[in-house]
Amino acid sequence: MAIDTGLSGTAELTVTAADTAAALGSGDVPVLGTPRVLALAEAATVAALDGHLDDGRTTVGTEVRLAHTAPTPVGARVTATAHLALVEGRRLVFEVAVVQGDRRVAAGTVERVVVDRERFLSGVRREGE
């Protein structure tokens, strides 16, 4: 299958105590933690590619640039959107944004690379081997 720019995907989250900086160890405040913001943005990139990869193929994250600029309280709903902006061979660059209603919470880019799933997994070394 061909992967072209313009693909987009979303992922949503209602913030719980488990999603906070305090719970994730990335701070001590009870607001949406940056690691969870990043995971949500990556989930949107994966959603954008759903149904567009050849059998046996998957993508892995390789680089992230993310500015987390606004706090989000527990109970708030946030939505991440990813737009595929650049395709260079196997390299895919997404522009991502996370919003709470009409307020931007975070924005940046997520790069992923298309890999053969089995080949990638065969290269993973197990601890102790």
Annotated binding-site ranges for substrate? 61, 112
Catalytic, 52? Answer: no
* Residue positions forming the annotated binding site: 61, 112
Catalytic, 14? Answer: no
Selected catalytic residue, list 34, 58, 79, 109 = 34
C-alpha 17/C-alpha 61 separation (Å) is: 26
How many Cβ atoms from other residues are within 10 Å of residue 114's Cβ? Answer: 18
Structure token digits, residue 99:
């919003």
* Residue positions forming the annotated binding site for CoA: 61
Selected catalytic residue, list 20, 42, 59, 81 = 42
Catalytic, 83? Answer: no
Selected catalytic residue, list 20, 45, 59, 68 = 68
C-alpha 75/C-alpha 85 separation (Å) is: 32
C-alpha 116/C-alpha 66 separation (Å) is: 27
Provide the annotated active-site residues: 34, 42, 68
